[in-house]
Amino acid sequence: MDFLVLDNIPFPIDPEQLYKNLKIKKGGELVARLNHLVDKAQAIGRPKASYKAAFIESRGDDQVNVEGVMFTSRVLRVNLEKAHRVFPFVTTCGLELEEWSSSIDDLLEKYWADVIKEMALRAALKHLKEHLIDHFQPGKMSRMNPGSLADWPLPEQRQLFALLGGGPASIGIKLTDSFLMVPIKSVSGIWFPTEESFESCLLCPREKCPGRRAPYDPDLYERKYRPK
């Protein structure tokens, strides 16, 4: 299957929630400035996603071959034990918002724009997951992202982009020499069907992480992922 693009993604912003997140008092002097940024962002914002449905060809002790592209990760290998079809993907806030935010000089407004771009990225992730569920009926799904764990390091982005072909470029994403993505508010990874939910946070001991989605489980690797 060739890559597909989703670019008609809703990008709603709840002003009340945004005020709360940014600790801005409703009716205060900063509200008008923030509202102006929100209106501009929603007028030009085009969050996007690209993905493909891909099939697993073979597995090793700590490797998975997906349509001729080899990924090396013990955790990914175990998580895909019962999977046959997976969904490699990239999502982004979009070049439109990236270029807009780069033109802002005021430091406070630049920070606000960064938060808005994060919201656009999350909208793209949510839309993609709902699209996959609606179109492929995979059941319960989880995802892994290169660089989220030492077990699946950031250089594995190269293999993921190879598997996706022209998908990333079609939505304006570039991979740098250090394997970071531009726009920076982009996420790549693999969605996969699973009976048991997985979050990389379960295996990450980093404290006070603002993006944490699950508590660290210090015994999980030994219980589930350590080679026998």
Q: What global pTM score does this model have?
A: 0.93
pLDDT surpassing 80 at residue 228: no
Map tokens 């597909």 to a residue: 4
Quick one: pLDDT band at residue 164, thresholds 50, 70, 90? very high
pLDDT at residue number 25: 87
pLDDT at residue number 210: 76
Region 10-25 average pLDDT? 89
Q: What domain range includes position 110?
A: 4-225
pLDDT at residue number 26: 82
pLDDT above 70 coverage of the chain, percent:
100
pLDDT at residue number 186: 98
Can you say whether the dihedral through the CA atoms of 51, 55, 57, 63 is positive or negative? positive
pLDDT at residue number 196: 87
pLDDT at residue number 209: 79
pLDDT surpassing 90 at residue 171: yes
pLDDT in tens, 40-57: 999 999 999 999 999 999
DSSP letter string over 130-141? Answer: HHHHHHH---SE
pLDDT at residue number 146: 97
pLDDT at residue number 208: 77
Mean pLDDT of the chain: 94
Give the chain's domain count: 1
pLDDT at residue number 227: 87
Region 141-167 average pLDDT? 96
Beta-carbon contacts of 141 under 8 Å, excluding residues fewer than 6 positions away, are 87, 129, 132, 133, 191, 192, 193, 194
Map tokens 């740098």 to a residue: 176
Q: What's the CATH number where 121 sits?
A: 3.40.109.40
pLDDT in tens, 176-211: 999 999 999 999 999 999 988 899 999 988 877 777
Taking alpha carbons only, the member of 120, 111, 210, 109 closest to residue 172 is: 120
pLDDT in tens, 53-103: 999 999 999 999 999 999 999 999 999 999 999 999 999 999 999 999 999
pLDDT at residue number 95: 97
Region 221-226 average pLDDT? 92
